[in-house]
Structure 1
């Protein structure tokens, strides 16, 4: 089943911008169903032989030779501390899910792979509020009566590898002293991505509003407009993820362009899906720019270009 599971993945990309989320469902031992955005998935294989690499954190089972390239393999059940994970490693991890995001390829071991399902966004909800940002869930939903926990694999990987949440920008990457105070709206369901983008904006001295999905962002912008404030004047730009549960970035951009009070907003789409990104879709929905995750310097260059443009416009005589 796993061998043929992704043979129609190209068709799944047509869901983008239609407020539906395609999830690959799997288990980590026990009955609990988990999901991951199918656009991050390259293929699913029976667990291949693994070889060891020195210095890997204990949550890594090793590395696999996948089509001639060495792919680091994370035991996902062990990594998130799943209580139903079986003690026997071989029994607990029968399948390898090969993913691509943030410009890298990563393998995750899971116990069983179920199917790909399409979920309407109105049936996808934020994870329970546990009073902390340590959860690895990005959303929860149901399919045929079963609870599905959608995992933020970017956060899992970043926490285990202790990836830096920031990067120091060069001194020349700075706004001119005469630049006005500016605000940027950031929309991303991954806490890792939000922290990374915030780090760049903080170093540039730019104010930031952080939201976790497209629906929140659209509602927020409409509330700003309803209060009598011009959203285009308030925000120099909107930086939005594409793959989000409640409303994806394509749909958010489309709704922004449809609304007369929002249409002038500058929208930069920022996605980890470098392997399947659809440039035609970006042009269709009217986004101004696109940056693949995650290069802080490339992101900073795009942000600086836009903010310098706003600064020049504000300095120009009326």
Structure 2
């Protein structure tokens, strides 16, 4: 990645934690703009030579040598309903890092870095026709921008259900976490389902919210709930529309009735800057997606020995 690109990303990401999202915009062959969080982009380059991968998923365009590593290259155009870019000489590749794994995504035309206010990110109406692979929309200079749910795309390539190991399931049963309840906050349906399944294996009841604003409202409602119906711990994504995970954590710490809640930020975004932000907003832990045993152990570590409702 060039020094100029790194400087631009650093300038943009300094806004994180203030409910602002820095996105890289790109196109897929027409005028529609798409976006991806710049935290997840390591480099943008011309499409390299791709090696064929017989028997691979239809979204895999091939593999390539990236700085000495062999990484899969996903045809994001096909995933979004556009003609394949696999053999398009003018195509570009975004090298991304999600949940400690690296992959390339083919796009037609990278555009620019922009700042978006989290309040202006909305869940797309079904009538827009983006389907499940877009989890938010906003406008930049009047143009509609569709934010790609990359986790959903990656999940479609790996249909194996992540399960807790047998030892961890036994440990959860020994702890007997009932009647504690956990709030799961994530705008990705795939991620929410993964987390609900994990807590089901731990015999822990979940309350689900799709973004920070919905979560905060629900937490305030449950603050006066009878014993056994309150929330003990929040597991929240970071990158979400309306209110992100950083802003949600800050709001929890600023609300007297909620500030004792344990908060785990759970995200595919990684890196030193993110870890610093987690400390700044006073979250209890950060766990990279999706590591079932590590997340389960974190929950066991943070749950109080005796049930408390905050």
| TM-score with structure 2 setting the length | 0.90
Residues of 2 paired with 1:70 and 1:188: CA distance?
Answer: 31
Q: Partner of 2:290 in structure 1? A: 294
Residues of 2 paired with 1:133 and 1:194: CA distance?
Answer: 20
Secondary structure of the residue aligned to 1:150 is strand
Q: Quick one: structure 1 residues 3 and 97, their matched pair in 2 at CA, closer, same or farther if it must change by over 3 Å?
A: farther
> Following TM superposition, by how much is the alpha carbon of 1:181 offset from its aligned partner in structure 2, in angstroms?
1.4
Is the 8 Å Cα contact of residues 178 and 203 (structure 2) preserved in structure 1? no
Structure 2, unaligned stretches of length 5 or more? none
Is the 8 Å Cα contact of residues 238 and 266 (structure 2) preserved in structure 1? yes
Is the 8 Å Cα contact of residues 26 and 111 (structure 1) preserved in structure 2? yes
Is the 8 Å Cα contact of residues 28 and 93 (structure 1) preserved in structure 2? no
185, 193, 211: which one aligns with 1:187 = 185
195, 198, 205: which one aligns with 2:196 = 198
Q: Partner of 2:162 in structure 1? A: 166
Residues of 2 paired with 1:60 and 1:259: CA distance?
Answer: 46
Summarize the alignment of residues 16-165 of structure 1 with structure 2, pairs less than 5 Å apart. Answer: 16-82=16-82, 85=83, 89-91=86-88, 94-129=91-126, 135-159=132-156, 161-165=157-161
Q: Quick one: structure 1 residues 292 and 110, their matched pair in 2 at CA, closer, same or farther if it must change by over 3 Å?
A: same
Q: Quick one: structure 1 residues 244 and 284, their matched pair in 2 at CA, closer, same or farther if it must change by over 3 Å?
A: same
Q: Partner of 1:176 in structure 2? A: 174
Is the 8 Å Cα contact of residues 224 and 231 (structure 1) preserved in structure 2? no
Matched, 1:263 2:256: no
Residues of 2 paired with 1:35 and 1:112: CA distance?
Answer: 12
Residues of 2 paired with 1:314 and 1:155: CA distance?
Answer: 35
Q: Partner of 1:229 in structure 2? A: 225
238, 241, 252: which one aligns with 1:242 = 238
Is the 8 Å Cα contact of residues 166 and 195 (structure 1) preserved in structure 2? no
Residues of 1 paired with 2:194 and 2:51: CA distance?
Answer: 32
Structure 1, unaligned stretches of length 5 or more? none
Residues of 1 paired with 2:178 and 2:130: CA distance?
Answer: 32
Aligned-pair RMSD on alpha carbons? Answer: 2.6
Q: Quick one: structure 1 residues 101 and 110, their matched pair in 2 at CA, closer, same or farther if it must change by over 3 Å?
A: same
| TM-score with structure 1 setting the length | 0.88
Residues of 2 paired with 1:180 and 1:45: CA distance?
Answer: 50
Instruction: State the Cα deviation string for residues 16-75 of structure 1 (Å, max 9, x = none).
Output: 111111111001111111111111111100111111233311221101111111110011
Is the 8 Å Cα contact of residues 133 and 153 (structure 2) preserved in structure 1? yes
Instruction: State the Cα deviation string for residues 76-134 of structure 1 (Å, max 9, x = none).
Output: 0112323xx3x67433861000100111001100000100100112221111147x996
Q: Quick one: structure 1 residues 71 and 4, their matched pair in 2 at CA, closer, same or farther if it must change by over 3 Å?
A: farther
Is the 8 Å Cα contact of residues 74 and 107 (structure 1) preserved in structure 2? yes
Is the 8 Å Cα contact of residues 231 and 265 (structure 1) preserved in structure 2? no
Q: Quick one: structure 1 residues 62 and 179, their matched pair in 2 at CA, closer, same or farther if it must change by over 3 Å?
A: closer
